[in-house]
Amino acid sequence: MINVLLTGDNNVLKGMALCILSIVKRTKKPVHFHIMTIGIDWHKHVEKISEDNFNFLKNEILKISPLSIFSYYDVTEEMERVFKNTPNQNPVYSPASLIRLFLYKYIDCERLIYLDCDTLVNNSLEEFEEINLDDYEFGVVLDHMGKFWIKKDYFNSGVLYINMPLCKKNKVFENAIDLLMKKKYYFADQSALYHSTTKRLYLDRRFNEQRRPNDKTVVKHFCKGIQYLPYFYVYNIKQWNIKKVHSFLKIHEFDDIYELYDKIFESRWPIKEDKK
């Protein structure tokens, strides 16, 4: 059984559904999906994924992948207790980006794959299991832009392969939370994790491809990018922005996932407006 964690609020529910579809379509081994969410009173745009939506998602995926397992965690109270009235209560990428830092309290397994909801899987997640992570807290990929602008070993936290026993032993997530309670960071969760772990295994970019995917890509991350020519332009195209995924990014590797989404989720969580 492969353990996968996805976190977020209602704003990324479509992305989460697309990501999960890509996992069950590309990965033969059963997956235990851990879904963590929050809804907080100090930020009007952060609304939790309801249990009704979670159950609908779970039941539809089980029709495709009956051996999958789903667990739901509402960590709103924990979030409010820890981060309200602290320097990072409203980080640049939404308070929901901090949810993953509480995973050590809820999930018990040997290895955990964390995926941002703006990722899609292009090859089997079983490829992570071929990595020897015994002596490392995380398996990570360098941040495409951060390695130039921040530090040469600065990693992207959108995909993490986590050695759970070692992270718990070294209190990696507790240390990251402590940092965020004291100091403001622009990339809050990512920088806190960077400063809280020293035993990192740097993986090939195919495990967190932040630019153009190819046939060896395991996870494609639809994060921010820069177009330099003919002018400097920062883009932030997510996988549910299908028109731009096709026209601007020129990515068609996931068209089968979009077709499957149409059949299962389009009537409930429409993304057709992005296909025009």
**Domains located in the chain, CATH noted:** 2-221 (3.90.550.10)
CA 78 to chain CA centroid, Å, is 20
Its pTM stands at 0.94
Q: How large is the average pLDDT for residues 120-127?
A: 98
pLDDT exceeds cutoff 80 at 140: yes
Q: How far is CA 192 from the centre of its chain?
A: 16
pLDDT digits (tens, 9 = 90+) for 81-101: 999 888 887 787 788 899 999
Residues 212-263 have pLDDT tens digits of 999 999 999 998 877 776 777 788 899 999 999 999 999 999 999 999 999 9
Asked if the model's pLDDT at residue 65 lies above 50, the reply is yes
What's the mean pLDDT when you consider all of the chain?
Answer: 92
